[in-house]
Amino acid sequence: MPSYYAQIAADGRVVGRCEYPEPFVHGSLVPLTEEQYGQPGLLFARYADGVLAGTAALLTADKGELAADGADAIRVRLLIGDWMSRLDESFSGVVPVSVQGQTQPVQVSGGIATFTVTSREPGLLRIATQGLDRNAELYVKAVKPGER
């Protein structure tokens, strides 16, 4: 049975993963379970005080298109999870969110936040979190009024 490891940089960031046919000891390797090894968020985690940690975001919208009239809105839901993509109900705080390059603070409580987005300009809107270990982005389409 193979042994699984995360390679840790000097600042604690996970920079790689590897498996060996038998246990292996090295100062920059941290043993993992098979489940941890298979997590897509592993390379966004950090290792401190004997624990892997990290924040990951997920953005979803109630619809993929809105009228570019400044009144029609989409509701965006922001979920904050850990590096294994489990909801982090203990996370509360402000997460910077960029909408078309304009950053606004979004207050998260219990790992969840909702906010609305409107547009007066047609086109593809990019909504993205900033400052997390694994940020999320979401695209929605703003169309000229009457084209929906």
Residue type, position 123, single letter: G
Cα separation of 99 and 33, whole Å? 38
Cα separation of 82 and 78, whole Å? 13
DSSP secondary structure string, 64-91?
SEEESSSS--EEEEEEEEETTS-B-TT-
Residue corresponding to tokens 């920059």: 28
Position 55 scores a pLDDT of 93
Domains defined for the chain, CATH in brackets: 3-53 (no CATH), 55-143 (2.60.40.10)
Position 80 scores a pLDDT of 97
pLDDT per residue rounded down to tens, the chain (148 residues): 889 999 999 999 999 999 999 998 898 999 999 999 999 889 989 998 999 999 999 999 999 999 999 999 999 999 999 998 899 999 999 999 999 999 999 999 999 999 999 999 999 999 999 999 999 999 999 999 877 6
Token code pair at residue 113: 């936040």
